[in-house]
Amino acid sequence: MEWSEPRPGHRRRLRLVVIVSAVAAMLAAYILVVTTRADAAETLLSQGKPTTASSTENAGTPASAATDGNTGTRWSSAFTVPQWIQVDLGSTQSITRVALNWEAAYANAFQIQTSADGTSWTNIYSTTTGPGGQQSLAVTGSGRYVRVNATAKATAYGVSLWEFQVFGGTPDTPGGCGTTNAAQGKPATASSTENAGTPASAAFDGNTGTRWSSAAADPQWLQVDLGAAVSVCGVSLNWEAAYASAYQIQVSTNGTSWTNITGTTAGALGVQTPAVTTTTGRYVRVNGTARATQWGYSLWEFQVFTGSGPSVSPSTSPSGPALPTSDTPDLGPNVRIFDSSSSAATIQAAVDQAFNAQLRSPTAQFGTQRYVFLFKPGTYGRVWANVGFYTTIAGLGLNPDDVTINGAVNVDSGWNYGDEANATQNFWRSMENLSIVPEGGTDRWAVSQAAPMRRVHIKGNLTLAPSNQDNGQGYSSGGYLADSVVDGRVSSGSQQQWYTRDSRIAGWDGGVWNMVYSGVQGAPPNAFPNPPHTTLATTPVTREKPYLYVDSAGLYRVFVPSIRRNSAGATWPNTAGSSIPMREFYVAKPGDSAARINTALAQGLNLFFTPGTYSLDQTLRVTRPNTVVTGIGFPTLIPNNGVEALNIADVDGVKVSGLTFDAGTTNSPTLMSVGQAGAHTDHAANPISIQDVFFRIGSSVQGKATTTLAVHSDDTIIDHIWAWRADHGGAPTGWTVNTGDTGLVVNGDDVLATGLFVEHYQKYEVIWNGNRGKTIFFQNEKPYDVPNQAAWIGPRGNGYAAYKVADAVTDHELWGGGVYCYFSANPAVRVDRGFEVPNRTGVRLHSVITVSLGDVGTIANVVNDTGGPVPNPAGNTTPRQVVNYP
């Protein structure tokens, strides 16, 4: 957060032990996994199966792209009709549902057809009024082949599908995966054994007191011969302490040629139940490629489950009892949902009650209150919604203009009339996916960090400054606006820095130190430092944040926008992407255990966190590609006993958004990590994304964490985070109290950060080790509470730079970075530089600035040894700028 003059605000492995833990974990769970949803009565039959079409538009849009499970790839046809796409399920199946995810070029007349031989077809669904978009079609039929036969198209182009999914199962096992271990007692072999006491057969004897272990080398494999070709639909691995950190599960019909059905580079100790792709095979093996210890690989038990065993009843799902899901979920008591029949008075009373409870409250800023107000499509009469801490206002339409609020969604200062009654502490609130007709022509959003505005249409002007700036309460410090349209002008007023991305505005007025725009139509020209505007015509890579909406049938869904490259302007009203029904999410609520949430993930569900706090005694692990982990109303995850709160495997397309992390009282090495250290897998086509994710070390608890976020996966998109070591909180803060070294460590290559806020950490606040990284907008304050210079000596002199690019990096670029100091505990403290980078032509910084707030402490240079001292004799709070470096 920011200080603003003239009144400073004090924002304020013993192996035996591990073996015992593994045995305990094994005794606590007997788990297997299906490959699709938690609803065991339905199986996704089509994914990865042979797919053909009448035509393809080009080599980049093949038929197989519609059945690959990747919503970023698609099939498209030639520009004529009729056209068809068909999938071979491999055997005759009972078909219960077909899901179509149309691209903009959709068919408005088509049939769903089945065939036993691929020649004679039977219609099981037909329409001449297809709406495009997401369609989930309940059908009744059977066949080996299923096709979509398009007879009329809605556009001048052909027809195009992001995904074509067929659900069902064989009549005797309708989507079920057996619960009998098909591998027990079957012939087993391995690449090696550690000794005669740990043979391969010990992992298939049903005895959890015996184990197989290998030689201490990579790779190693263990395989079982099931005796005949069967449909393999699930596995369970009970690892001893010497576990695999990376492995694949593979299936073969001959024991020679192998097909991967799952894999991970983020393996863990104990019972693991990786989701697999159901595949026919006689032989099944685990192929370990990386060990987590200096020993070999060791398994107590390796279980294999097939579709030929007893089917799973709807009340019992793999990984335990089936967790409940719904297309009309209960979002909990902290969420109010309005529709166009709700009176303005009812809405006004609800939003007033939430806001007024926070007025002049010393605990509101770090309280447990959470409020979400959701508006279904429609137009709403005069509503003036003041937005306080941990409050979200959002529309439930597919597009922002589906919800219109007349009045205001307002953020101002003056909520607390003490010394810090200004907007520099207007954190933790958000507005999303609606339109506003502002009363008086101008809407006000006077916020600082962790207060995003996304997918909003302001039908008038927008001001980002408080209304009371003339009476000494008018300071504001940093914010984020994306995928929005402002019909009028934006006035930034007292905002010291701001980042706007991929939007359209009529114009922009004002700017104090560091105003950054990328992909903003109507942005001011690049002119840094006078005025302080840094403007990029496009943003290199974007994927907008997933959002909740209600479809025409009244069912809840989450829309996941697609990747854009070199983007500009808002994505809507025709946002490309995919829609996920809420029945494919586990809706988490406060009180849910980490084990329950991990069970949901193991059952193939996405996660939707409702407002509240979540105490985690184990790490939440996301291992399935394309998993969506999102939340509304600032759900807050607090790790216990020093565990990591969230771990994302090095897989494609995971989306994490809308979460807040509070460090626990026992130090966590990291709060969240993405990928595996040392792994460099190409995710460029479908990167992991992190959006509106906020980290706190010290708030309502005296938290501790060495690093808050570690990004190992290549191509990750970091789109608006705030990592904050608290300078004030509901619990006392201080140099030895809420400790934290670094806010963000980037080890992946080709990582992009758009909107990076990191403050008050005790060592390097951002460390960038990966190559070809890019940052667009960086905001930082150095720690206020450095006790003395001797306590703060870095590797290269006094203090630690805020933004450190590692010496080995050869290619890196940053646009629009600000570093500020306010060494209030000891104004004699100095830091030698704000930015520290290797002197290479491939490492480039543009529009960087340092400021000593009130000249309380010194930043000697902006970048390396360039940029002059701050402060200097010229006067109070004088910025130093470097336009380009080198």
Catalytic residues: 781
Alpha helix ranges (H) inside 374-503:
none
Query: Which residue, chain included where needed, has tokens 């960038």?
Result: 768
Q: What does the angle CA 120 – CA 126 – CA 129 come to, to the nearest 5 degrees?
A: 145
**227 Rama sector, left if φ>0, alpha if ψ -120 to 50, beta otherwise:** left
DSSP single-letter state for residue 808: T
The Cβ of residue 143 has, within 10 Å, a number of other Cβ atoms equal to 24
Query: Which residue, chain included where needed, has tokens 């807050």?
Result: 636
Contacts of residue 503, defined as CB under 8 A and 6 or more positions apart, other chains included, come to 481, 482, 483, 484, 485, 486, 519, 520, 521, 569, 570
Picking from 654, 227, 845, the residue whose alpha carbon sits closest to that of residue 861 is 845
Contact status, residue 49 vs residue 458, Cβ threshold 8 Å: no
Q: Three-class SS of residue 853? A: helix
Contact status, residue 791 vs residue 735, Cβ threshold 8 Å: yes
Query: Which residue, chain included where needed, has tokens 């538009």?
Result: 57
The Cβ of residue 842 has, within 10 Å, a number of other Cβ atoms equal to 12
| Residue 110 in tokens | 């088509």
* Ramachandran angles phi, psi of 597, nearest 5°: -65, -40
| Residue 620 in tokens | 């939440």
Q: What does the angle CA 660 – CA 663 – CA 664 come to, to the nearest 5 degrees?
A: 130
Picking from 749, 675, 733, 666, the residue whose alpha carbon sits closest to that of residue 706 is 666
Q: What does the angle CA 881 – CA 853 – CA 767 come to, to the nearest 5 degrees?
A: 65
Picking from 432, 443, 374, the residue whose alpha carbon sits closest to that of residue 408 is 443
Contact status, residue 444 vs residue 423, Cβ threshold 8 Å: no
Q: Three-class SS of residue 698? A: coil
Picking from 469, 499, 530, the residue whose alpha carbon sits closest to that of residue 879 is 530
End-to-end, the C-alpha distance of the chain in Å comes to 29
Query: Which residue, chain included where needed, has tokens 């390396």?
Result: 864
